[in-house]
Amino acid sequence: MSSELQVFRLPDLGEGLTEAELVNWLVAVGDQIKVDQPIAEVETAKSMVEVPSPYAGTVAELHGQTGETLDVGKPLISIAPVGAAPAEPKAPAATDDAVSTGVVTDAEASAAAETYRTEEKAGSGNVLIGYGTPGGATGGRTRPRKGSVAVVDAAPAAALEGSVAAPEARMEPAVAGTRIPGKLSAVISPLVRKMARDHGVSLDAINGSGASGLIMRRDVEAAISAPEAPVAPSAQAPAEAVAPAAASGDLDGRTGLAVSARTPVRGVRKAVAANMTKSRTEIPEATVWVDVDATALLDMRAELKKRSAHDTPGLLAFIARFVTAGLKKYPTLNTRFETGTDGSQEIVGFDGINLGFAAQTDRGLVVPSVRNAHQLSARELDAEIRRLTAVAREGKATPTELGSGTFTLNNYGVFGVDGSAAIINYPEVAMLGVGRIIDKPWVVNGELAVRKVTELTLAFDHRVCDGETAAGFLRYVADCIENPGGALADM
């Protein structure tokens, strides 16, 4: 119907993310918007992105406040179609659905969100990254928007809890045009997995009630409520007693000091914390290091700069070139260690190298990666490293650019330190760190001299290789730095 409100739900912005922080609304209630017009800026654990509208019409309601963290699949914005009279809010009847009335209750929103996440994870094809949604009253832009995502409401809330044998729920024309048929499998949405993990529920012990054995939120909720006894009142009392102390300025019970501030851990910082914890928990890492005379490399770059100052690669690009050559020689360090649900383990190798590099931004530490870095020259690596650093610092790097690395290069020398006991960027198996380059006494041809020296540190997963492999790779990169001309001639 032309008078129906169209409800657009927060999409999964990539990499199975379960939530995003609403940074800024780009539209207001009453605004006329077009298909693919950016409506909000949101920050995920990966990047800052603009979310475009899959609908054209008049903004009827904004479902969220600036600074609020929204779950994937929950209503983001309601839009009245072009030419429709403003919808009058009304209480929905028992048979009304959330889309047709334009009024979304909490229960309906949760149910609709779960169904959206279920369909998305089953490969419904409703997530359109960098494209407008077919249909609508106006034509969308043909120019793709980096990091943009458009997701349309998949079905009325009334059909959400239908049985497996029920026919496929009615869809908007735009949804039907983007569905990929025949892609239904027993998968679990990120929020359902998170709910199970937070409550200590084993998904292996749950028989899914959804199509093809899909584990739904209701299945996990049933498992959570299964324990025979509720929490004892005595166990609840301490929590109630501590609650008033949550406000800043109150005394901290352990130190006796006043609490000056409480900063929520979210966005990039939350992702970094989770990733580092997982790395330390699962990876038995070992570290090897070596001091390297980088004088010849600096001299070679200085000579190149005299010839062509505008496009001379930086030192990190040369080292990146040496690293990709070393990973070809020692491919075990360019792998991933995987454990199957049945307890089986395997080392997964890759036909290519996506070289990640640590970049410090205002939002925290991120690791964009140069895809197919093994195919690039030092000059090409330099250009891509500079581009990725810029988009990462602007918060515009895509989830693919931030989550596809196979090995990480970390230049912490820019912070004025010599070395670091680095934490491997999970799920990779190794990381090479480069310290600052400083003048040090060095023996050259039996005589003491002042040379430009740096320290290389390799942290590696001892499950995938032994010290011989790690030392061989580290020594190879060190030799390339000490004899860059000969190394580049052989690459």
Residue 405 inside a domain? The answer is yes
Out of 229, 244, 259, a domain closes at 244
207 and 72 belong to one structural domain: no
CA 258 to chain centre: 36
Q: Is the pLDDT of residue 421 over 90?
A: no
Q: How many separate domains does the chain show?
A: 3
Inter-residue contact 363 to 394 (CB < 8 Å): no
421 or 164: which leads in pLDDT: 421
The pLDDT tens digits for 165-217 are 444 444 343 333 332 333 333 445 666 776 777 777 777 677 777 765 778 77
144 and 232 belong to one structural domain: no
Residue 437 inside a domain? The answer is yes
Residue 47 inside a domain? The answer is yes
Amino acid at 162: G
**Structural domain for 432, as ranges:** 268-489
pLDDT level of residue 235 (50, 70, 90 thresholds): very low
Specify the CATH number for the domain of residue 147: 2.40.50.100
Q: Is the pLDDT of residue 96 over 70?
A: no
Out of 184, 201, 221, a domain closes at 184
Specify the CATH number for the domain of residue 239: 4.10.320.10
162 and 70 belong to one structural domain: yes
The pLDDT tens digits for 31-52 are 999 988 999 988 876 667 788 8
462 catalytic residue (yes or no): yes
Q: What is the pLDDT of residue 69?
A: 86
State mean pLDDT over 403-430: 93
Encoding tokens for residue 389? 């650093």
80 and 128 belong to one structural domain: yes
202 and 337 belong to one structural domain: no
Residue 259 inside a domain? The answer is no
pLDDT level of residue 113 (50, 70, 90 thresholds): low
226 and 301 belong to one structural domain: no
Out of 184, 202, 219, a domain closes at 184
Specify the CATH number for the domain of residue 413: 3.30.559.10
Residue 101 contacts by C-beta under 8 Å, 6 or more apart in sequence? 4, 5, 90, 92
Least confident segment among 111-115, 202-206, 436-440: 111-115
Identify the bridge partners of residue 180 per DSSP, sorted by sequence position.
none
% pLDDT > 90, the chain: 39
156 and 238 belong to one structural domain: no
Encoding tokens for residue 326? 């070393």
The pLDDT tens digits for 304-350 are 999 887 789 999 999 999 999 999 999 999 999 999 889 899 999 99
Residue 255 inside a domain? The answer is no
The pLDDT tens digits for 275-308 are 888 898 999 999 999 999 999 999 999 999 998 8
Q: Is the pLDDT of residue 75 over 80?
A: yes
Q: Which residue is listed with tokens 């928007």?
A: 145
146 and 20 belong to one structural domain: yes
292 and 163 belong to one structural domain: no
Strand order in the sheet with 75-81: 6-9, 75-81, 57-62, 32-33
> Cβ-count burial of 307 within 10 angstroms (0-12 exposed, 13-18 middle, 19+ buried)?
exposed
pLDDT level of residue 435 (50, 70, 90 thresholds): very high
% pLDDT > 70, the chain: 69
State mean pLDDT over 151-173: 40
> Cβ-count burial of 441 within 10 angstroms (0-12 exposed, 13-18 middle, 19+ buried)?
exposed
Q: Is the pLDDT of residue 250 over 70?
A: yes
Residue 95 inside a domain? The answer is yes
Residue 1 inside a domain? The answer is no
218 and 279 belong to one structural domain: no
Out of 199, 310, 374, 462, which one is annotated catalytic?
462
330 and 202 belong to one structural domain: no
Residue 261 inside a domain? The answer is no
pLDDT level of residue 480 (50, 70, 90 thresholds): very high
374 and 467 belong to one structural domain: yes
Q: What is the pLDDT of residue 446?
A: 94
Inter-residue contact 425 to 275 (CB < 8 Å): yes
CB atoms within 10 A of CB 145: 18
pTM above 0.85, yes or no: no
